[in-house]
Amino acid sequence: MNSIFHALGDATRRQMIRDLADGERSVSELAEPFSISLAAASKHIKVLENAGLIRREVRGRTHMCWLEPGPLASVHEWLGFYERFWTERLDVLERLLSEEDASKTVLRKAGRKSGKGHKR
Is the domain of 62 the same as that of 6? yes
For the stretch 71-118, pLDDT in tens is: 988 888 888 888 888 989 998 999 999 988 888 887 788 777 776 655
Residues 64 and 76 in one domain: no
Mean pLDDT of 4-30: 95
Q: What is the CATH number of the domain that holds 27?
A: 1.10.10.10
**Domain hosting residue 91, numbered range:** 70-114
How many domains, the chain?
2
Q: Is residue 120 part of a domain?
A: no
Q: What is the 3-state secondary structure (H, E, C) of 72-120?
A: HHHHHHHHHHHHHHHHHHHHHHHHHHHHHHHHHHHHHHHHHHCCCCCCC
First to last CA, the chain: 66
So what's the pLDDT on residue 117? 54
Residue 119 lies in a domain: no
Same domain, 99 and 74: yes
